[in-house]
Chains A and B, each alone.
Chain A
Amino acid sequence: MEFMDPLKLAFAMLLALDPELISIISLSLMVSFTAVCAALLIGLPIGALLSSYRFPGRWAIITLSNTFLGMPPVVVGLFIYVLISRAGPFGWLGILYTSYAMMLAQFVLVLPISIALSRQVFEILNSEYTPLFLSLRISKLNRVLVLISEARVALTTIALACFGRAISEVGAVMIVGGNIRHSTRVMTTAIGLETSRGELAKALALGVVLLAIALSVNIISQIIRSKFERNIVND
């Protein structure tokens, strides 16, 4: 195998719109995008609440989210597997070895990131704005919404970090998704499979695509960031 072979193969597969490759890429994007959106939707308000208010259970949530930050993905995958397997408490959902299970696994993995990172951002903003909020006597909900709006530039970076974590995840989605062809095979699990088969060129080609997606997401994120910053200036 020559050095450029994987690149050539990757371009050939992409240009030919190889159905299997396109299916793997689109499933990877769909699973990760859904998991990240759900994690941000739930994690950001929790981060804002944790930074703004003292309430019973706050310490427990912070400890739990910090602990899950360092949780090995395979352990998360195993935990979810036990929960959603036929004999598990949520076996009746019937989502084991489906894309829903993979979304759930990625969601569980990125939720602590969205909570922990956003809490840090919100705490800085909250300490700055608390006298203003108290003086204006604004409601708790409004306070959370203002914090999210004020942190929008930093939150773009957090979303990117979450997406990077989700799309590059392999252990958990392998366990709960099963890496089933045309069903739950995503780029990372496909790379693992092709490598084990000795199809290094194909594995590297998928790796190149994965890198290209990561690069594209990064560029899009930078564009969104600079647009936000420009809008802030021109607002």
Chain B
Amino acid sequence: MTDKNENNYILKTYNLTVIRNGKTLLDRVNLRIEHGSLIMLLGHNGAGKSVLLKTLHGLLARTDGDIKGPPAERQKIVFQKPILLRRSARKHFRFVCPGCSDKNTEAWFAHANLEAQIDTHAHQLSGGEQQKLALIGALASQPSLLFLDEPTSHLDYESTTAIEQMIQDAHAGGTTIIMTSHNRAQAERLAQHVLFIHAGQLLESRPATDFFHKPTDPIADNFLNHL
């Protein structure tokens, strides 16, 4: 995502490098993420997708390079396996969004179609409901940048559709989203732009339609054929 005014970018990285135990997990990654875009981060297992998301969000320390992004309180992340406290869905939500009022909380549960589960123990919700709870918890503080690490893996069609709709709603509301997925159909449905990462290196950064039509990098092409 280049050739834009610098102010158009919500997130920029300069030679972002992460090395752990002598292994290079991210290798001089340079990113330019536009405000309001929906980015799909693709790559094989172990390519560095989750490491990149966690490093961008500040959960992992970088070894070298720089990150320019919104302040921490304006960023949120949703993990592949939702991390929920051992308390009711309502109380978990209020923990992750302490500024949310009762009315606001109920509105978010209604948005996720979780009104009936609001007082259910968070760990007793189904996988899809848990992920929806994690997602509304992240969205409630109206972040300008949202990271989603395979938010629909292991979910059924119905839950996947519901979560995709919530992602699209958040995107339509102006939130910039960077997500990972191993589902080609989902990636094609949602992505405006694709980042392809392999062995910690960013090999492709192209509009989604171009990428899915024909990746330029042979590794990305091979990946897409097997996705």
Contacts and interface: CB of A to CB of B under 8 A. Distances in A.
Report if A and B associate in a common complex. yes
Of the candidates B57, B79, B121, the one having the most CB atoms from chain A within 10 angstroms of its own CB is B121
Interface in A116-132: 128-129, 131-132
Interface in B43-92: 54, 57-59, 72-73, 76-77, 79, 83, 85-88, 91
A143 to B, nearest CB: 12
Contacts of A141: none
B87 A235 contact: yes
A134 B61 CA distance: 12
A135 interface: yes
Contact of B86 (A134, A136, A137, A150): A150
A58 B106 CA distance: 43
Interface of A: 128-129, 131-132, 134-137, 146, 150, 232-235
Chain B binding surface SS class: mixed
Interface residues of B, number: 20
A232 B124 CA distance: 10
10 contacts: A131-B83, A132-B83, A135-B77, A137-B72, A146-B85, A150-B85, A233-B124, A234-B119, A235-B87, A235-B88
Given A150-B85, A150-B87, A235-B121, 12 more contacts: A128-B83, A131-B54, A131-B59, A134-B58, A135-B57, A135-B76, A137-B73, A146-B85, A233-B121, A233-B124, A235-B87, A235-B88
Contacts of B57: 135
B96 interface: yes
A134 B73 contact: no
A136 B85 contact: no
Contacts of A136: 96
A234 B87 CA distance: 9
A144 to B, nearest CB: 14
Interface in B110-127: 119, 121, 124
Contact of A129 (B54, B76, B83, B124): B83
Contacts of A234: 119
A233 B117 CA distance: 12
A146 B92 CA distance: 11
A139 to B, nearest CB: 12
A137 B54 CA distance: 14
A150 B85 CA distance: 7
A131 B86 contact: no
A156 to B, nearest CB: 14
B78 to A, nearest CB: 9
B37 to A, nearest CB: 21
Contacts of A232: 86-87, 121
A175 B59 CA distance: 52
B121 A135 contact: no
Of the candidates B79, B86, B91, the one having the most CB atoms from chain A within 10 angstroms of its own CB is B86
A77 B140 CA distance: 56
B119 A235 contact: yes
A136 B73 CA distance: 8
B92 to A, nearest CB: 10
Contacts of B96: 132, 136
Contacts of B86: 150, 232
B2 to A, nearest CB: 29
Contacts of A137: 72-73
A32 B76 CA distance: 47
A133 to B, nearest CB: 9
Nearest to A125: B86
Given A233-B121, A235-B119, A131 B79 contact: yes
Nearest to B91: A235
A233 B119 CA distance: 9
A134 B59 contact: yes
A135 B59 contact: yes
Contacts of B85: 129, 146, 150
Nearest to B90: A235
B42 to A, nearest CB: 22
Top 6 A-B residue pairs of the complex, sorted by shortest distance between their CB atoms: A235-B88, A132-B83, A233-B121, A134-B59, A150-B86, A135-B77
A153 B136 CA distance: 28
